[in-house]
């Protein structure tokens, strides 16, 4: 994925309460992903998350199976570090954990500082795991308030990247659902929920035959009305899906505008290469977005890759773009003009702004931003300061 979170940890716990305790303890260090309970799923997640530290919960009722899982994981991946979780007063659990090959044992309810300290010490002794450098771009557009303009922007940005000769996927999970298809005058019989159900079959043949194709060869995978809410999708499922998709696409643009806060949403936000924080000048909507942003910051989420995208901008109206940037505490990446008549024509006619109004400021702004996303994927703007600073220099 990306390096916005320093590490990804896998965990097999007794229940969600234990998982949430562990996630809270390790927020400053990375994301804890639930790995289900089977060895096959655990090993698959190790491969796609590049995790090298795993937590396995132990209890007397399932101790034999849990010990066998630890042994099986270490047999398949000898360089893994496994930390057992359990009742610290139960010496039998501690002994079985050590015999199975666990590096250490943590009692449920331990202080966060103790758990984080243990993980830091173990991590220093583990070999560095380098994610594949062959992965393409992964851009997320997110704002707290749902509207059709989120899909409008995401679809046009994805089209621009596709036109740069990069095979691109628009993953439209924004609210309202499926607007990207309607905006482009398309229909689909294969959706996000279908992709989750067919994770093991998600190869080039299935993508070619089932994913909707738009202008210039852009592929679209949207959230259907009948699909489960995004918040019910586990982080493990998302890792598996994104790993499969990134093997087939050079750039993925994800529309998440309007989604409520959830573990799934945070998984996308934490592991994308670039986060475009979407807002306009509506103070009520700004407050909603700022509440989410501040919550994530309080929880220790790393948002160095986030920049502010101001849409439907009206000059001379407060708050201006500079004030919005200071309020959100984010550098400004782009300001897109309002042009309500242009937007309405595109929505109602099912055609792109590039076809209907190529010279309008809104269209040109989307074109410029899309081209910069494409350049980032091609590695044309690599530097220690990053491509956002280059963009800032163009303003």
pTM of the predicted model, to two decimals? 0.87
In this prediction, residue 301 carries a pLDDT of: 87
Tokens 């320093």 correspond to what residue? 6
Beta-bridge partners for 169:
219, 252
Q: What angle do CA 31, 33, 39 make, to 5 degrees?
A: 145
User: pLDDT tens-digit profile of 143-188?
Assistant: 999 999 999 999 999 999 999 999 999 999 999 999 999 999 999 9
In this prediction, residue 379 carries a pLDDT of: 60
Question: Which residues of the chain fall below pLDDT 50?
Answer: 1-5, 380-395
Could you tell me the end-to-end alpha-carbon distance of the chain, in angstroms, rounded to an integer? 29
Side-chain half-sphere CA neighbours of 346 within 13 A: 27
Question: What does DSSP assign to residue 299?
Answer: T
* φ, ψ of residue 7 in degrees (nearest 5): -150, 160
What domains does the chain contain, in order, with CATH numbers?
7-125 (3.40.50.2300), 137-394 (3.40.50.300)
In this prediction, residue 147 carries a pLDDT of: 92
Give the Cα separation of 86 and 58 in Å (integer).
5
Give the Cα separation of 185 and 212 in Å (integer).
11
**Pairing mode, if any, of strands 212-213 and 53-57?**
unpaired
In this prediction, residue 390 carries a pLDDT of: 38
In this prediction, residue 375 carries a pLDDT of: 87
* φ, ψ of residue 278 in degrees (nearest 5): -95, 125
Give the Cα separation of 151 and 154 in Å (integer).
5
356's CB contacts (< 8 A; 6+ apart) are 342, 345, 346, 349
Backbone dihedral region of 108: left (phi > 0), alpha (psi from -120 to 50 degrees) or beta?
Answer: beta
Give the Cα separation of 183 and 204 in Å (integer).
26
| Contact status, residue 360 vs residue 366, Cβ threshold 8 Å | no
Tokens 């299935």 correspond to what residue? 206
In this prediction, residue 299 carries a pLDDT of: 86
| Neighbour tally for 143: CB within 10 Å | 27
| Contact status, residue 308 vs residue 324, Cβ threshold 8 Å | yes
Question: What does DSSP assign to residue 259?
Answer: P
In this prediction, residue 132 carries a pLDDT of: 55
User: pLDDT tens-digit profile of 328-361?
Assistant: 999 999 999 999 999 999 999 999 999 999 999 9
């Amino acid at each position: 994925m990306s390096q916005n979170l320093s590490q990804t940890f896998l965990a097999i716990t007794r229940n969600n309460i234990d998982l949430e305790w562990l996630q809270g303890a390790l927020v400053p260090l990375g994301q804890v992903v639930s790995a289900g309970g089977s060895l096959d799923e655990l090993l698959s997640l190790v491969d796609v998350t590049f995790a090298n530290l795993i937590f396995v919960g132990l209890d007397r009722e399932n101790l034999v199976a849990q010990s066998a899982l630890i042994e099986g994981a270490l047999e398949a991946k000898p360089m893994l570090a496994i930390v057992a979780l359990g009742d610290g007063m139960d010496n039998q659990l501690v002994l079985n954990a050590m015999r199975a090959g666990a590096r250490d044992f943590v009692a449920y309810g331990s202080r966060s500082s103790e758990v984080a300290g243990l993980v830091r010490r173990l991590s220093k002794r583990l070999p560095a795991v380098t994610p594949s450098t062959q992965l393409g771009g992964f851009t997320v557009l997110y704002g707290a308030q749902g509207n059709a303009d989120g899909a409008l922007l995401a679809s046009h940005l994805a089209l621009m990247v596709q036109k740069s000769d990069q095979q691109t996927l628009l993953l439209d999970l924004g609210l309202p659902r499926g607007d990207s298809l309607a905006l482009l005058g398309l229909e689909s019989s294969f959706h996000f929920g279908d992709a989750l159900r067919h994770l093991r079959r998600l190869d080039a043949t299935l993508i070619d035959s089932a994913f909707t194709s738009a202008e210039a060869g852009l592929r679209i995978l949207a959230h259907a009305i009948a699909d489960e809410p995004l918040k019910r999708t586990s982080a493990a499922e998302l890792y598996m899906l994104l790993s499969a998709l990134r093997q087939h696409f050079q750039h993925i643009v994800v529309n998440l505008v309007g989604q409520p806060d959830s573990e799934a949403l945070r998984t996308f936000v934490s592991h994308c290469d670039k986060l475009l924080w979407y807002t306009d000048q509506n103070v009520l909507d700004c407050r909603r977005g700022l509440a989410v942003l501040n919550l994530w910051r309080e929880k220790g989420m790393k948002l160095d890759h986030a920049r502010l995208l101001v849409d439907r901008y009206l000059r001379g109206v407060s708050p201006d773009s500079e004030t919005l940037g200071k309020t959100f505490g984010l550098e400004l990446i782009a300001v897109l003009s309002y042009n309500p008549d242009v937007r309405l024509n595109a929505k109602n006619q099912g055609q792109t702004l590039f076809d209907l109004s190529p010279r309008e400021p809104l269209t040109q702004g989307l074109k410029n931003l899309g081209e910069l996303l494409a350049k980032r994927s091609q590695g044309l703007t690599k530097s220690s300061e990053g491509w956002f600073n280059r963009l800032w220099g163009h303003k």
